[in-house]
Copies of this chain bind each other. A is one copy, B any other.
Amino acid sequence: MTFNVGIFGASGYTGGELVRLLARHPKARIAFVTSERHAGRPLSDVFPHLGGIPELICRPLTDFKATTECDVAFCALPHLTSMDAVPELLERGVRVVDLSADFRLRDEEQFRAWYGEEHRAPALLEEAVYGLPELGDRKAIAGARLIANPGCYPTSILLALGPLLREKAIETETLVIDSKSGVSGAGRSAAQGSLYAEVAEGFRAYKTTGHRHTPEIEQELTRLAGSEIRVRFSPHLLPQSRGILSTCYVRPRLPLTEKEWRDLLATHYRDEPFVQVLPVGQYPTTLQVRGSNRCVLSVALDGRTGWLVVLSVIDNLVKGASGQAVQNMNLLMGVEESAGLEQLPLYP
């Protein structure tokens, strides 16, 4: 009835968020957590908010024997580290949801170009299933050995533009995407740029031309559009902890009204529990999805210039990472897709 999960790399924000969600999951049981840096210490020393749950003691990262205790392993290790751990996990027969970027790109060449290293498990690139259930193949996810959990920016953008490209409703040449993320997206490592006093009142752009989520966005949009897609993608850093808002500028191919654009999206996501499309004239705020696995979308059509704007918000740590990972795990284990993910957003 219940099954066991292990979390590799539990001391980062996505790891902590996995514990938060899984500790209250109706079917999953956290069998173990690992943290190289905090091995031997209780996880509640690392995350004070986890102080009330049954004691989890961090194991060393490389304690792969632990996999015998779990049915599914979450890999929340840093990029370029995960690709060394995942093959080991798969060999031991455990199914893996990988939250790093290591198995998201299908093309080894692209990986080398954007990450500056050879991939050390290239055979798995093809096997890995990209885990965005709303736009992917749920059967493929359910049957996968290895799920590549999507990036936070890509999730917010694919959910906004995927249906429009699939329907060939917009031009494919002119995609401008301006995204803004809360600072938890930069992780929990101590870095001057993430200090409170540097971030507060200090909105800024970063990696304007070379963010590594770019090829992931393009790969998936290309798949959905059925033709080669390139995007102008600019990430920015918000003075807030959680949340991504992506403002997507596209050129319509179909002559629809604002209401029809809205309905096109709403119809597409009609049966999706985690995607909500706002009525015309309403815009989403990151606060309305905080702590939840939701994505909220809205559209605005600019009659004067002909641009269509699609707005998308998610919580980068939930639908953009750990919540989506749990959603994928649910598909993998054949339980209700929204199990453990029904929590409402925290507002304010």
A195–B183 alpha-carbon span in the complex (Å): 9
Partner of A180, one of B180, B190, B296: B180
Question: A203 interface residue, CB < 8 Å from B?
Answer: yes
The residues of B that contact A190 with a CB separation of less than 8 Å are 190-192, 194-195
Number of identical monomers bound together in the oligomeric complex? 4
Q: How large is the interface on A (under 10, 10 to 19, 20 to 34, 35 or more residues)?
A: 35 or more
Does A3 reach chain B (CB closer than 8 Å)?
Answer: no
Contact A204/B348 with A49-B289, A343-B343 known, Cβ cut-off 8 Å: no
B307 touches A176 (CB 8 A): yes
Q: In this assembly, does A91 line the interface, its C-beta being within 8 Å of a C-beta of chain B?
A: no
Interface residue stretch chosen among A102-110, A120-128, A233-241: A233-241
Q: With the chains together, A91 CA to B345 CA distance in Å?
A: 36
What does the 1/0 interface line of A231-249 toward B look like (CB < 8 Å)? 1101010111111010101
Decide yes or no whether A48 CB sits under 8 A from chain B.
Answer: yes
Residues in B neighbouring A183, C-beta threshold 8 A: 195-197
Further 10 A-B residue pairs, CB within 8 A, beyond A48-B347, A51-B288, A178-B234: A49-B287, A52-B273, A189-B192, A196-B198, A196-B199, A206-B283, A208-B283, A209-B302, A209-B303, A242-B348
- Interface of A toward B, CB cutoff 8 Å: 13, 16, 20, 23-24, 47-53, 174, 176, 178, 180, 182-184, 188-192, 194-206, 208-209, 230-232, 234, 236, 238-243, 245, 247, 249, 273, 276, 278, 283-292, 294, 296, 300-305, 307, 309, 311, 342-348
Can you identify 29 A-B contacts, CB atoms within 8 angstroms?
A48-B288, A48-B347, A49-B345, A51-B278, A53-B344, A176-B307, A178-B178, A178-B247, A180-B203, A183-B196, A190-B192, A190-B194, A194-B196, A195-B195, A200-B287, A201-B243, A202-B287, A203-B240, A203-B243, A204-B286, A205-B283, A208-B283, A208-B311, A209-B300, A209-B302, A209-B303, A231-B305, A232-B309, A249-B249
